[in-house]
Amino acid sequence: MPYDPTDTAVIVVDMQNGFCHPDGSLHAKPSETALDPVVELVGRARDAGARIVYTRDVHPPEQFDDTHYYDEFDRWGEHVVEGSWDAELHGDLDVRADDHVVEKHTYDAFYRTDLEGYLHVHGVDDLLICGTLANVCVLHTAGSAGLRDYRPVVVADALGYITEDHREYAIDHADWLFGETTTREATTFGDG
């Protein structure tokens, strides 16, 4: 079934220099390779009238100084530090003034951000989720969306990842847990 662009948004997760550019602090070649599929999906969705949301993973340098347990710098090393080139959205993305950019500080794009409010105000129910990393921020954002009664659909061929088994895990888990994944070819938009 085609997606109704009036209540659909494409959520582009963390397609930033730090992950997608060869000079990025956590560059993964599959994240770089995902740029073209993401740009193609966004272009078709935008032309149909769907909303476009980009997330940026951004960490203030002191974010994890006093944490009890959650410390991404300990797990991943310093990355996408606030104000750095690393934290900027990749230049291949066609980010426009009417797109919404969400700055997040954890794997989950809903956690302590304005994303839910933005989607609610604009009447969005269906989310086509793409970006990177498949088994980290994409999967956590999709899970959080489902818990909030959105329809999260992971676009399997528009994902970045570190290893193929991470990508497969994310797709299998999303398909089992939410009941829905798709591909770019299978994603069509109705008249709205």
User: How do residues 79-117 score in pLDDT, each as one tens digit?
Assistant: 898 999 999 999 999 999 999 999 999 999 999 999 999
Mean pLDDT of 65-76: 81
CA gap 112, 131 in Å, rounded: 20
Does the residue 187 lie in any domain?
Answer: no
Mean pLDDT of 18-35: 97
CA gap 179, 25 in Å, rounded: 34
Between these two residues, 154 and 78, which has the higher pLDDT value?
154
CA gap 110, 104 in Å, rounded: 8
Mean pLDDT of 13-23: 97
- Please report which helix (H) or strand (E) contains residue 84, including its range: none
For residue 69, the tally of other CB atoms under 10 A from its CB is 5
Averaged pLDDT of the chain: 95
Residue 178 belongs to domain with CATH number: 3.40.50.850
Environment class of 65 (CB within 10 Å of its CB; exposed 0-12, middle 13-18, buried 19+): exposed
Does the residue 16 lie in any domain?
Answer: yes
Beta bridge pairs of residue 16: 89
> What residues make up the domain containing 81?
5-182
Lowest pLDDT segment from 63-67, 82-86, 91-95, 127-131: 63-67
Does the residue 79 lie in any domain?
Answer: yes
pTM given for the model: 0.94
DSSP 2-58: -B-GGGEEEEEE--BHHHHSTTSTT--HHHHHTHHHHHHHHHHHHHHT-EEEEEEE-
What is the model's pLDDT at position 149? 96
Does the residue 188 lie in any domain?
Answer: no
What is the model's pLDDT at position 1? 82
What is the model's pLDDT at position 138? 98
Asked whether the predicted pLDDT for residue 192 surpasses 70, the reply is: no
Mean pLDDT of 45-74: 88
% of the chain with per-residue pLDDT over 90:
85
Does the residue 148 lie in any domain?
Answer: yes
User: How do residues 163-189 score in pLDDT, each as one tens digit?
Assistant: 999 999 999 999 998 879 999 999 999
Does the residue 192 lie in any domain?
Answer: no
Does the residue 189 lie in any domain?
Answer: no
Domain count, the chain: 1
Q: Is 96 helix (H, G, I), strand (E, B) or coil?
A: coil
What is Dmax (Cα atoms) for the chain? 50
Does the residue 170 lie in any domain?
Answer: yes
